[in-house]
C-alpha cells in the first residue's frame, strides 16, 4: 500500500549492544570488539553511512551482517558501509552486526527516517524499454517534458506522490499511485520505437533435413541493440537458403550472433529430441543491408526441466509452454501442452541457455491466472507451479453506460501483487488509452483533460485489470530493473475478463 511520511527527517541512532565474551574450551578471552561511530543519521534514499570495527585481543577475521532493510558492503573486513533502502514512506529499523568468532560481536541499531520531500529524477520508456522524448510528466502542480533520453526531474516532491505521464501521439496516459522512490521508470504501454532493419541470409547444414515431418528449425539474430525488441528477430526455416529480417534500435550497424536450433516433435507439440545447434558470432548487419551467415549444426547436449503443477480448485487448467533463451537473445518458444500433476520437458543444454515456463489456468468467468518462470537452468526438475485464484471484476457491470472520470471501478485482487487498471477504446476511431498502476483494488479513469487527453463523450470502451507479483508496492514495479510491464522476467499474476462500457454523453 502507499507509504506515508510522518513528520520531518528522523535521526538514526547507532549504539553498541554487545562487546566481547569468553570462549569455550580452555576458557581464554577471545577478544573485544567495538564499532564506531556509535551515533549517525540516515534517511530513506539518502547517503550511506560507514562503520569501522576494532578488534582487540584476537586476530580473527571480522564479518558483517545486516538484519532489516537496506544493504551493507563489504561483508568482511574492518569497515563496511550501510546503505538505507532506496524508497519507502515509513520509518524503518535495521541492525548492523560485526562478528569475530564465536561469542565476539557488536551491533548497532539503525533508526532510519523519512525525508519531508525529495527530488524525483526518472525515465519514461516504451514497452520495449526504449526511452521516449516529449512525454508530459506531472507530479502535483509541477509538469515537465521528457528530453531526448526520456529523462525528467521534478524537485521538492512530498511523499507519497502520484505521477502522471501523458503522450498525445499515440494517445496514452498512465498514473503511478503512491510512489516514494526518487528514480522511477515509467512504462508507456503499447508504445514502441520504430526499429532499423537489415537482412541475414545463409544456408543451414547438419542435423536433420529441413522441412521434414515433425521437424522444426529456427534461426535467431541477437545483438545488444536488438535485445529489447518484443518480437524475437527469428525465423522458422523449412528450406535453404533462409532469409531473416533483423531489427534493432540504435546505430545504423549492429553486431551480434546468429543462433540456429533444430528439434523433433514426433507428432506432438513439445520437443522429443534436439538434432541441431550452431551459432556464429561477429555478424554485422547494416540498415537496409544484407549479410550472409552459413551455419553447420550438430546435435547439442540435452537436459530436462520438470516439476509439479498446483491449481486453485476454482480454476480449469489451460496449459503451459516451454521456451529456451540464449544469454544475448529473446526466447525461442519450443512448444506447449496441458499436462496434469507433473511435467517434464526436454531442453538443449548449450551456449549458456536457460529455460522459461509459462503456465495458465482460467475461471468459469474467463478470468486468467498465469505464472512465468524465467532463467531456469537445464536439469532443474523440482519446479513448483502454483496458479492461484485470479483477480475478478466487480463494478461497473459489463455493458455499463454513462461512465465518467468520477466512476469508481473495483475488482478483487491477488495477494502479493500490484494492479494495472487499463481502459482502451473499442471503436473504429482511435481513442485515448488510460492506465493506473496501484496497490489498491479500485481506480478511476484519470481526468487528463488539462493535458489534452480528455475522455471522449459517448465513446465505446473496455476495461480490465492485470496483476503482477511478487510485489509489495508500486515503488518496486517502477524500478529500473523491473520487467513486469514488458512481459519478461519471472512473475505470477492474473488478468480479469474484459468488460465493455460507454462513456457519458
What digits encode the pLDDT tens for the residues 260-302?
Answer: 999 998 777 889 999 999 999 999 999 999 999 999 999 999 9
**In angstroms, rounded to a whole number, what is the distance separating the alpha carbons of residues 299 and 371?**
31
Strand order in the sheet with 234-236: 234-236, 215-222, 253-264, 273-286
Joined together, the cell numbers standing for residue 127 give 514497452
Which residues does residue 331 pair with via DSSP β-bridges, in sequence order? 325
Residues 6+ apart with CB under 8 A from 447: 405, 454, 455
User: Which of these CATH numbers, 1.20.58, 3.30.1050, 2.60.40, 1.10.10, describes 302-387?
Assistant: 2.60.40
Looking at the domain that runs over 32-112, which CATH code has it been given?
Answer: 2.60.40
- Give residue 25's pLDDT: 37
- Is 362:316 a contact under the CB 8 Å cutoff? yes
- Is 335:413 a contact under the CB 8 Å cutoff? no
- Give residue 37's pLDDT: 82
In this prediction, residues 158-181 reach a mean pLDDT of: 96
pTM of structure: 0.86
Burial of 434: CB neighbours in 10 Å, binned 0-12, 13-18, 19+: buried
What digits encode the pLDDT tens for the residues 403-436?
Answer: 999 999 999 999 999 999 999 999 777 899 999 9
Joined together, the cell numbers standing for residue 215 give 521437424
Whether the per-residue pLDDT at 329 is higher than 90: the answer is: no
CA distances, 318 to each of 72, 117, 259, 337 (Å): 44, 48, 31, 9
Burial of 171: CB neighbours in 10 Å, binned 0-12, 13-18, 19+: middle
For residue 179, give the nearest of 203, 163, 196 by alpha carbon.
163
**In angstroms, rounded to a whole number, what is the distance separating the alpha carbons of residues 311 and 152?**
43
- The proportion of the chain whose per-residue pLDDT surpasses 70, expressed as a percent, equals 93
Sketch the domain layout of the chain as residue ranges.
32-112, 196-297, 302-387
Yes or no: domain 196-297 corresponds to CATH 3.40.30: no
Whether the per-residue pLDDT at 226 is higher than 80: the answer is: yes
- Give residue 230's pLDDT: 58
For residue 205, give the nearest of 249, 246, 254, 242 by alpha carbon.
242
Residues 6+ apart with CB under 8 A from 65: 72, 75, 96, 97, 99
**Cβ atoms < 10 Å from Cβ of 505:** 7
**For residue 328, what is the DSSP state?**
T
Amino acid at each position: 500500500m502507499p507509504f506515508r511520511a510522518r513528520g520531518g527527517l528522523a535521526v538514526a541512532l547507532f549504539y553498541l549492544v554487545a562487546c566481547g565474551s569468553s570462549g569455550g574450551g580452555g576458557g581464554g578471552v577471545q577478544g573485544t570488539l567495538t564499532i564506531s561511530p556509535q551515533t549517525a543519521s540516515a534517511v530513506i534514499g539518502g547517503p550511506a553511512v560507514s562503520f569501522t570495527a576494532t578488534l582487540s585481543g584476537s586476530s580473527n577475521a571480522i564479518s558483517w551482517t545486516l538484519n532489516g532493510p537496506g544493504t551493507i558492503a563489504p561483508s568482511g573486513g574492518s569497515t563496511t558501509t550501510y546503505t538505507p533502502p532506496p524508497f519507502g514512506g515509513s520509518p524503518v529499523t535495521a541492525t548492523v552486526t560485526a562478528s569475530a568468532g564465536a561469542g565476539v560481536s557488536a551491533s548497532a541499531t539503525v533508526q532510519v527516517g523519512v525525508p519531508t520531500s525529495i527530488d524525483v529524477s526518472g525515465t519514461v520508456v516504451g514497452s520495449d524499454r526504449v526511452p521516449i522524448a516529449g512525454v508530459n510528466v506531472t507530479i502535483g502542480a509541477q509538469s515537465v517534458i521528457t528530453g531526448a533520453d526520456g529523462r525528467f526531474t521534478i524537485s521538492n516532491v512530498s511523499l507519497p506522490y502520484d505521477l502522471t505521464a501523458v503522450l498525445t501521439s499515440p494517445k496514452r496516459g498512465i498514473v503511478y499511485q503512491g510512489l516514494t522512490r526518487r528514480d522511477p521508470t515509467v512504462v508507456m504501454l503499447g508504445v514502441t520505437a520504430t526499429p532499423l532493419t537489415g537482412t541475414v541470409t545463409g544456408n543451414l547444414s547438419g542435423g536433420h533435413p529441413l522441412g521434414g515431418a515433425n521437424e522444426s528449425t529456427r534461426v535467431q539474430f541477437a545483438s545488444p541493440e536488438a535485445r529489447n525488441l518484443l518480437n524475437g528477430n527469428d525465423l522458422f526455416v523449412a528450406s535453404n537458403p533462409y532469409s531473416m529480417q533483423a531489427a534493432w534500435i540504435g546505430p545504423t550497424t549492429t553486431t551480434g550472433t546468429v543462433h540456429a536450433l533444430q528439434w523433433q516433435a514426433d507428432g506432438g507439440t513439445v520437443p522429443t529430441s534436439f538434432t541441431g545447434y550452431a551459432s556464429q558470432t561477429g555478424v554485422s548487419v547494416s540498415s537496409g543491408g544484407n549479410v550472409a551467415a552459413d551455419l553447420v549444426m550438430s546435435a547439442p547436449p540435452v537436459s530436462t526441466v520438470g516439476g509439479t503443477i498446483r491449481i486453485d480448485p476454482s480454476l480449469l487448467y489451460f496449459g503451459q509452454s516451454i521456451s529456451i533463451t540464449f544469454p544475448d537473445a529473446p526466447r525461442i518458444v519450443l512448444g506447449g501442452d496441458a499436462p496434469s500433476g507433473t511435467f517434464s520437458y526436454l531442453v538443449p543444454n548449450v551456449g549458456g541457455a536457460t529455460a522459461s515456463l509459462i503456465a495458465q489456468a482460467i475461471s468459469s468467468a474467463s478470468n486468467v491466472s498465469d505464472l512465468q518462470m524465467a532463467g531456469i537452468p537445464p536439469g532443474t526438475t523440482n519446479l513448483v507451479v502454483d496458479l492461484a485464484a485470479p483477480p475478478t471484476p466487480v463494478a461497473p457491470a459489463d455493458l455499463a453506460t454513462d461512465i465518467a472520470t468520477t466512476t469508481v471501478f473495483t475488482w478483487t485482487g491477488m495477494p502479493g501483487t500490484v494492479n494495472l487498471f487499463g481502459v482502451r477504446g473499442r471503436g473504429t476511431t482511435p481513442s485515448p488509452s488510460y492506465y493506473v498502476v496501484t496497490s489498491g483494488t479500485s481506480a478511476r479513469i484519470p481526468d487528463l483533460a488539462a493535458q489534452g487527453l480528455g475522455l471522449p463523450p459517448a465513446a465505446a470502451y473496455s476495461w480490465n485489470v492485470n496483476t503482477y507479483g511478487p510485489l509489495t508496492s508500486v515503488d518496486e514495479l517502477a524500478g529500473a530493473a523491473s520487467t513486469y510491464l514488458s512481459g519478461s522476467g519471472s512473475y505470477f499474476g492474473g488478468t480479469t475478463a474484459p468488460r465493455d462500457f460507454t462513456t457519458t454523453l
